[in-house]
Amino acid sequence: MAHPKARATDGKVTYPPGVKEISDKISKEEMVRRLKMVVKTFMDMDQDSEEEKELYLNLALHLASDFFLKHPDKDVRLLVACCLADIFRIYAPEAPYTSPDKLKDIFMFITRQLKGLEDTKSAQFNRYFYLLENIAWVKSYNICFELEDSNEIFTQLYRTLFQVINNGHNQKVHMHMVDLMSSIVCEGDTVSQELLDAVLVNLVPAHKNLNKQAYDLAKALLKRTAQAVEPYITNFFNQVLMLGKTSVSDLSEHVFDLILELYNIDSHLLLSVLPQLEFKLKSNDNDERLQVVKLLAKMFGAKDSELAVQNKPLWQCYLGRFNDIHVPIRLECVKFASHCLMNHPDLARDLTDFLKVRSHDPEEAIRHDVIVSIVTAAKKDLALVNDQLLNFVRERTLDKRWRVRKEAMMGLAQIYKRFSLQAEGGKEASKQISWIKDKLLHIYYQNSIDDRLLVERIFAQYMVPHNLETTERMKCLYYLYATLDPNAVKALNEMWKCQNMLRHHVKDLLDLVGKPKSEASSKAVFSKAMVITRNLPDPGKAQDFVKKLVQVLEEDERVREQLDTLVSPSCSCKQAETCVRDITKKLGSPKQPSNPFLEMVKFLLERIAPVHFDTESISALIKQVNKSIDGTADDEDEGVPTDEAIRAGLELLKVLSFTHPVSFHSAETFESLLGCLKMDDEKVAEAALQIFKNTGSKMEESFPHIKSVLLPVLQHKAKKGPPRQAKYAIHCIHSIFSNKDTQFAQIFEQLITPLTTLGHLALLAPEQFAGPLKSLVANFIVKDLLMNDRFPGKKTTKLWVPDDEVSPETLAKIQGIKLMVRWLLGVKNNLSKSGNSTLRLLTAILSSDGDLTEQGKMGKPDMSRLRLAAGCALLKLAQEPCYHEIITLEQYQQCALVINDECYQVRQAFAQKLNKGLWGLKLPLEYLAIFALCAKDPVKERRAHARQCLSKNVNIRREYLKQHAAVSEKLFSLLPEYVVPYTIHLLSHDPDYIKVQDIEQLKDIKECLWFILEIIMSKNENNSHAFIRKMVESIKQTKDVQAPSDPKINEKLYTVCDVAMNIVMSKSTTYSLESPKDPVLPARFFTQPDKPKAANVLGAVNKPLSSAGKQLQTKSSRMETISNASSNSNPASPGRNKGRLDSGDMDHSENEDITSLKKGDKRDDPDVARDSDRPRGRKRGPASSQEDSSGQDVKPKRGRKKATADSDQWGDEPQAGDVSMETEDEQNSPPKKGRRGRPPKSATAKAEMPSKGRRGRKKAPSPEEEESGGEVQEEEEEEHEDGDSENMEVKPKAGRQARTPRRSQQRYYVRFTNETVDEMDDEEEEEEEEDAEFTSPKVSETEVSGQVKQKMRKGRREEREEMGPQEAWSVLLVTPQAKPTELGEGKAGCWTPGDLALDGALLWQPLLSLISIITFLLLCIKLCQLVLYLNQGSPGASKGRCECLLLF
Is the predicted pLDDT of residue 1402 greater than 50, yes or no? Answer: no
Model confidence at 750, pLDDT cuts 50, 70, 90, reads: low
Cα gap 301→1001, rounded to integer Å: 65
By the 8 A CB rule, do 203 and 215 touch? yes
Predicted pLDDT of residue 1221: 35
Cα gap 623→616, rounded to integer Å: 11
Cα gap 1101→1369, rounded to integer Å: 9
SS3 at position 306: coil
Cα gap 1023→246, rounded to integer Å: 68
Is the predicted pLDDT of residue 1248 greater than 60, yes or no? Answer: no
Predicted pLDDT of residue 820: 83
SS3 at position 1086: strand
Predicted pLDDT of residue 1281: 40
Closest Cα to residue 1296, out of 1273, 1324, 1331?
1324
Model confidence at 990, pLDDT cuts 50, 70, 90, reads: very high
Predicted pLDDT of residue 391: 92
Q: What integer is the mean pLDDT of 270-287?
A: 85
Q: What spatial distance separates the first Cα and last Cα of the chain, rounded to whole Å?
A: 124
Alpha-carbon separation of residue 4 from 7, 57, 62, 543, 1070 (angstroms): 5, 11, 16, 104, 115
Q: Quick one: what percent of the chain has pLDDT higher than 70?
A: 72
Q: Count Cα neighbours of 341 within 13 Å in the Cβ-side half-sphere.
A: 30
Is the predicted pLDDT of residue 1327 greater than 50, yes or no? Answer: no
At a CB cut-off of 8 Å and minimum separation 6, what does 861 contact?
A: 793, 794, 796, 798, 799, 800, 801, 805, 806
Cα gap 1130→1185, rounded to integer Å: 48
Q: How many CB atoms lie within 10 A of CB 372?
A: 18
Per mean pLDDT, which of 337-346, 958-967, 1153-1162 is the most reliable? 337-346
Cα gap 437→450, rounded to integer Å: 18
Cα gap 982→1086, rounded to integer Å: 10
Predicted pLDDT of residue 454: 94
Q: What integer is the mean pLDDT of 213-223?
A: 90
**pLDDT averaged over every residue in the chain:** 75
Least confident range of 657-671, 736-750, 999-1013, 1350-1364: 1350-1364
Predicted pLDDT of residue 1410: 57
Angle between helices 286-301 and 327-343 (to 10 degrees): 10
710-741 pLDDT, tens per residue?
A: 888 888 888 778 888 888 888 888 888 887 77
**Alpha helix stretches (DSSP H) within 1380-1409:** 1393-1398, 1400-1408
- Of residues 1425 and 919, which shows the higher confidence score? 919
Q: Residue 954 burial by CB count (10 A; 0-12/13-18/19+): exposed, middle or buried?
A: buried
Cα gap 24→576, rounded to integer Å: 92
At a CB cut-off of 8 Å and minimum separation 6, what does 11 contact?
A: 58
Cα gap 1072→1083, rounded to integer Å: 26
Is the predicted pLDDT of residue 1362 greater than 70, yes or no? Answer: no
Predicted pLDDT of residue 104: 87
Is the predicted pLDDT of residue 431 greater than 60, yes or no? Answer: yes
Q: What integer is the mean pLDDT of 1101-1119?
A: 35
Alpha-carbon separation of residue 498 from 208, 505, 588 (angstroms): 58, 10, 27
- Based on C-alpha coordinates, what's the Rg of the chain? 49
Q: What integer is the mean pLDDT of 314-326?
A: 91
At a CB cut-off of 8 Å and minimum separation 6, what does 872 contact?
A: 909, 910, 913
Q: How many CB atoms lie within 10 A of CB 1410?
A: 16
For residue 515, report the phi and psi dihedrals to the nearest 5 degrees: -80, 160
Q: Which residues pair with 1296 in a beta bridge?
A: 1293
Model confidence at 1271, pLDDT cuts 50, 70, 90, reads: very low
Cα gap 776→819, rounded to integer Å: 10
226-236 pLDDT, tens per residue?
A: 888 888 888 88
Predicted pLDDT of residue 755: 66
Alpha-carbon separation of residue 263 from 215, 267, 299, 304 (angstroms): 14, 4, 7, 11
For residue 538, report the phi and psi dihedrals to the nearest 5 degrees: 50, 70
Predicted pLDDT of residue 495: 94
Closest Cα to residue 64, out of 117, 11, 104, 119?
104
Model confidence at 1322, pLDDT cuts 50, 70, 90, reads: very low
Predicted pLDDT of residue 1112: 36
Q: What integer is the mean pLDDT of 677-696?
A: 84
1028-1066 pLDDT, tens per residue?
A: 888 999 999 999 999 999 999 999 999 999 999 999 999
895-926 pLDDT, tens per residue?
A: 999 999 999 999 999 999 999 999 888 999 99
Predicted pLDDT of residue 395: 93
Alpha-carbon separation of residue 402 from 365, 409, 410, 446 (angstroms): 12, 10, 12, 12
State the SS3 of 191-204: CCHHHHHHHHHHHC
601-650 pLDDT, tens per residue?
A: 988 998 999 999 999 999 999 888 888 888 888 777 777 888 888 888 88
Predicted pLDDT of residue 665: 87
Is the predicted pLDDT of residue 1398 greater than 60, yes or no? Answer: no
By the 8 A CB rule, do 409 and 397 touch? yes
Q: Which residues pair with 1086 in a beta bridge?
A: 1040
Q: Count Cα neighbours of 1068 within 13 Å in the Cβ-side half-sphere.
A: 28
At a CB cut-off of 8 Å and minimum separation 6, what does 282 contact?
A: 289, 317
Is the predicted pLDDT of residue 1382 greater than 80, yes or no? Answer: no
Cα gap 667→691, rounded to integer Å: 14
Predicted pLDDT of residue 968: 62
Per mean pLDDT, which of 169-173, 365-369, 825-829 is the most reliable? 365-369
SS3 at position 1293: strand
Is the predicted pLDDT of residue 1365 greater than 60, yes or no? Answer: no
What's the predicted TM-score (pTM) here?
A: 0.58
Predicted pLDDT of residue 1411: 57
Q: Count Cα neighbours of 852 within 13 Å in the Cβ-side half-sphere.
A: 24
By the 8 A CB rule, do 781 and 819 touch? yes
Exposure class string for 825-846: b at 16+ Cβ within 10 A, else e: bbbeebeeebbebbbebbbebb
Closest Cα to residue 1015, out of 1111, 929, 1092, 1096?
929
Q: What integer is the mean pLDDT of 285-295?
A: 90
By the 8 A CB rule, do 1155 and 1445 touch? yes
Exposure class string for 1302-1316: b at 16+ Cβ within 10 A, else e: eebbbbbbbbbbbbb
Give the DSSP per-residue string, 475-515. HHHHHHHHHS-HHHHHHHHHHHHHHHHHHHHHHHHHHHHHS
Is the predicted pLDDT of residue 1407 greater than 60, yes or no? Answer: no
| Cis peptide preceding 1376, ω within 30 of 0 | no
Model confidence at 1007, pLDDT cuts 50, 70, 90, reads: very high
Closest Cα to residue 1236, out of 1313, 1289, 1292?
1292
By the 8 A CB rule, do 3 and 57 touch? yes
Predicted pLDDT of residue 52: 78
Least confident range of 389-398, 1095-1104, 1185-1194: 1095-1104
Is the predicted pLDDT of residue 652 greater than 80, yes or no? Answer: yes
991-1006 pLDDT, tens per residue?
A: 999 988 889 999 999 9
**Signed CA dihedral, 1010, 1014, 1016, 1022: sign only:** positive
Cα gap 528→523, rounded to integer Å: 9
**Signed CA dihedral, 400, 401, 404, 410: sign only:** positive
Residue type at position 910: F
Closest Cα to residue 1387, out of 1043, 1095, 1079?
1095
Alpha-carbon separation of residue 471 from 424, 466, 619, 647 (angstroms): 21, 11, 9, 19
- Of residues 362 and 1256, which shows the higher confidence score? 362
Is the predicted pLDDT of residue 1214 greater than 90, yes or no? Answer: no
**Alpha helix stretches (DSSP H) within 1161-1304:** 1166-1172, 1185-1190, 1200-1211, 1224-1227, 1241-1248, 1263-1285
- Of residues 1253 and 460, which shows the higher confidence score? 460
628-640 pLDDT, tens per residue?
A: 888 888 777 777 8
- Of residues 46 and 1333, which shows the higher confidence score? 46
786-795 pLDDT, tens per residue?
A: 777 777 777 7
| Cis peptide preceding 93, ω within 30 of 0 | yes
